[in-house]
Structure 1
Amino acid sequence: MMSGRGEPKVEMRTEKLLIRNARQIVAVCSNGERVLCGEAMKNPVILNQDGGNNGVSLVIGSDGLIKGIGSTAALSKGIRFSKIIDATGKCVVPGLIDGHTHPVWAGDRVHEFSLKLAGASYMEVHKAGGGINFTVEHTRQATENELYATFKQRLEGMLRCGTTLVECKSGYGLDAETEIKMLKVIQKAKRELAIDVSSTYCGAHAVPMGHTSGAATIDVIQNQLPKIVKLIKDGQLEVDNIDVFCEQGVFNKEQTRRILTAGRQAGLALNFHGDELHPMEAAELGGELKAEAVSHLEEISDAGIKAMAESGSIAVILPTTAYILRLKHPPVRKMIEEGVAVALGSDFNPNAFCMSMPLVMHLACVNLRMSMQEALVAATINAAASLRKSSTHGSIEVGKVGDVLILDAPRWEHLIYQMGNHEKLIEYVIKQGDVVHQRDSNKR
């Protein structure tokens, strides 16, 4: 096409978003890494403004994917933008990823908190009819709409704290009807909310009252799972993972193996609880089965660490759990030194009511002795890998989804350093190039 003066007319294309002149863009990865382990966790990729104070810019395309990172002049040539955000003096980091939550339930357990403060253990509360069993009773009674209303509020709270991808479990039903009800609630959120969701079937979260673990194992494998698989095949559900609470007095190692094997045969990823309250050789089992992830691991053995490092299974560490239950901390430093990929999760549930991944990262640094760089890696690319999503999420790289946070701070570390100030620090939460949360300017 020619202009009026006989010169070629440059066709302008339109992209969704330009974030320009940031002081820092924390890309985390730059070479398409699936996961970062060992020393690599200490060295996430960070792009800084140059000595002349020329900032770093980011383009997110009309398809919601990242198109370029670099100088504003180079990135914006021949492009119109639907929206431009000036990030001068500010920092851009990937959207945070929460690798372990239980956010669908009815009936809070605030009354149990005082019992725990007085010294009651998790299992003592559980055996007295509290804990998971209390939540199961209330969740069974709640309607699908009632569960969705509170679930939606919780996910929106997580989004405001910077989480753009979250793993969500069922597990407060313990029967086919309620587990399916919970999975349908999660499915609705997948379709309707701005946050991305990885869904997990956790029918083996506890042994139902009046049942044995053996009977519960059979029910999960022969009754619950086949019904869920049928709904998946019929297109009514999308379920990504299967989980089991491998614990003394719940499901033993062999029962866990049987349930996980059945889940894998159904096409689900293995992402389960293990070695939390007692050493169960769950990490060894995870390594043997090449599970995508094992969570908790407060009681992991040296052999379990070696097995997970060799298999590539990711350790999803939950700092809130040890904090609230006053458990010993998982040996995260040894895991990292031995080559285990460590991820983080909030463990949001009625027992650990935490929606904030920045707070989780803070606890990981203070209590588990992770560096801030390691905590960021664990809450981004490694958490994405635990959910089989690191090819699309978890870092700021060309071709990945445009999920980022803009921090009103001169260094990205403020995300961890500023304890409990995230409603002021996080200025924008951006999902696939769309602003899904913006800080109230009156709260600066």
Structure 2
Amino acid sequence: MDIHNAGGGIHSTVQSILKASEDELYTLFKSRLLQLLKSGVTLVECKSGYGVDFQSELKLLRVINRGLRDPEVKSDISVTYCGAHAVPRGKTAKEATEDILTNQIPKLKELCDKGELHIDNIDVFCEKDTKAILKAGQSAGWKLNFHAEEFVRLHSVEMGAELNATAMSHLEEISDEGIKAMAEKGCVATILPTTAYLLHLKPPPVRKMIEEGVPVALGTDFNPNAYCLSMPFVMNLACVTMGMTMNETLAAATLNSAASLNMSATHGSIEVGKVADAVIVDSPRE
């Protein structure tokens, strides 16, 4: 929060987004997708969230959607709208929520209905009115895949399970009741080791989640704070800092990650009838 209050963090990136053109943003976006592919990532969730106001959020979503149509992009992309990432400067939390509920989501749904835009999921990263925003996104036809219990315990996990969220991420402050709720509903826990490590957060209770039957996925959480495009490094960090086994991280980085995007029926494992999106690496064993 000290960084945020000093003008850094999300709002610093928002200013860069405002200054950049869609072409400039897409050049950066495409280069990062290609870097991810080199480390074995063939299915990637890409989020907005650094625009905050409607026009900037729409710009980011258009950039992501260009990746869906670009024949040079070999990765499959799941598109997530995260308009509730931070309260815009000059607005109260209540005003920002009202804008999302009455302006942003209806307009984005209209564009999706016209075939001009594609959105798969909705994410939120805010303390208030989370449920209302998630339910509005759900009504628009988007899956729930959102930040939960990263810095403080708000019992948002229990709320997400109640709403049948596909996945919830971070989870450093998850309660025992939250773990039980996720296990009962089959919600995927998306663990982000790089962010927990770089922000000096206590690791989420991954071993307890696994023992309780919660499907655990892994992600890079690539952003200006956690500038990591290497899933192999994320897997290594999960073993070293969170006590996961190599087999567990393999499942978490493949099949369970696909499940976190509601795509495990077609992606995430080598099976007859699934997308053959494996990366073949010619590398010495030594």
Q: TM-score range by the shorter chain?
A: over 0.9
Instruction: Look at both structures and tell me which one has the larger radius of gyration over its CA atoms.
Output: 1
Match of 1:386 in 2: 260
Q: Report the Cα distance in structure 2 between the residues aligned to 1:166 and 1:174, rounded to whole angstroms.
A: 22
Match of 1:348 in 2: 222
Match of 2:120 in 1: 240
Match of 2:102 in 1: 222
Amino acid at match of 1:227: K
Match of 1:293 in 2: 167
Task: Describe how 1:198-347 pairs up with structure 2 within 5 A.
Answer: 198-246=78-126, 251-252=127-128, 255-347=129-221
Match of 1:93 in 2: none
Q: In 2, are the aligned partners of 1:167 and 1:199 still within 8 Å (CA)?
A: yes
Q: Does 1:136 align with 2:14?
A: yes
Q: Report the Cα distance in structure 1 between the residues aligned to 2:281 and 2:109, rounded to whole angstroms.
A: 42
Q: Which runs of 5+ in 1 are unaligned?
A: 1-122, 409-423, 427-443
Q: Report the Cα distance in structure 2 between the residues aligned to 1:263 and 1:187, rounded to whole angstroms.
A: 18
Task: Describe how 1:160-199 pairs up with structure 2 within 5 A.
Answer: 160-192=38-70, 193-199=73-79
User: Helix, strand or coil: the match of 1:404?
Assistant: coil
1:375 to 249, 264, 269: 249
| Offset at residue 406 of structure 1 (A) | 2.8
State, as a whole percentage, how many aligned pairs show the same letter. Answer: 60
Q: Which runs of 5+ in 2 are unaligned?
A: none
Match of 1:27 in 2: none
1:155 to 23, 33, 39: 33
Q: In 2, are the aligned partners of 1:241 and 1:271 still within 8 Å (CA)?
A: yes
User: Helix, strand or coil: the match of 1:405?
Assistant: coil
Amino acid at match of 1:191: R
| Offset at residue 370 of structure 1 (A) | 0.3
Task: Describe how 1:408-423 pairs up with structure 2 within 5 A.
Answer: 408=282
User: Helix, strand or coil: the match of 2:125?
Assistant: strand
How does the TM-score come out when normalised to structure 1?
A: 0.63
Match of 1:401 in 2: 275
Q: Report the Cα distance in structure 2 between the residues aligned to 1:125 and 1:295, rounded to whole angstroms.
A: 22
Aligned residues: 284
Q: Report the Cα distance in structure 2 between the residues aligned to 1:209 and 1:300, rounded to whole angstroms.
A: 29
Q: Report the Cα distance in structure 2 between the residues aligned to 1:388 and 1:191, rounded to whole angstroms.
A: 21
Q: Report the Cα distance in structure 2 between the residues aligned to 1:407 and 1:160, rounded to whole angstroms.
A: 9
Q: Does 1:125 align with 2:3?
A: yes
| Offset at residue 407 of structure 1 (A) | 4.2
Q: Report the Cα distance in structure 2 between the residues aligned to 1:405 and 1:372, rounded to whole angstroms.
A: 19
Once superposed, what is the RMSD of the aligned Cα atoms? Answer: 1.3
How does the TM-score come out when normalised to structure 2?
A: 0.97
Q: Report the Cα distance in structure 1 between the residues aligned to 2:196 and 2:133, rounded to whole angstroms.
A: 26
User: Helix, strand or coil: the match of 2:43?
Assistant: strand
Amino acid at match of 1:195: S
Q: In 2, are the aligned partners of 1:203 and 1:220 still within 8 Å (CA)?
A: yes
Amino acid at match of 2:148: G
Q: Report the Cα distance in structure 2 between the residues aligned to 1:382 and 1:165, rounded to whole angstroms.
A: 12
Q: Report the Cα distance in structure 2 between the residues aligned to 1:328 and 1:199, rounded to whole angstroms.
A: 29
Q: In 2, are the aligned partners of 1:407 and 1:425 still within 8 Å (CA)?
A: no
Higher relative contact order (CA 8 A, sep 6+): 1
| Offset at residue 334 of structure 1 (A) | 0.4
| Offset at residue 425 of structure 1 (A) | 6.4
Amino acid at match of 2:219: G
Q: Report the Cα distance in structure 2 between the residues aligned to 1:150 and 1:349, rounded to whole angstroms.
A: 13
Q: Report the Cα distance in structure 1 between the residues aligned to 2:163 and 2:31, rounded to whole angstroms.
A: 36
From the superposition, tell whether residues 214 and 339 of structure 1 become closer, same or farther in structure 2 (CA, over 3 Å).
same
Q: Whose helix fraction is larger, Structure 1's or Structure 2's?
A: 2
Q: Report the Cα distance in structure 2 between the residues aligned to 1:284 and 1:425, rounded to whole angstroms.
A: 46
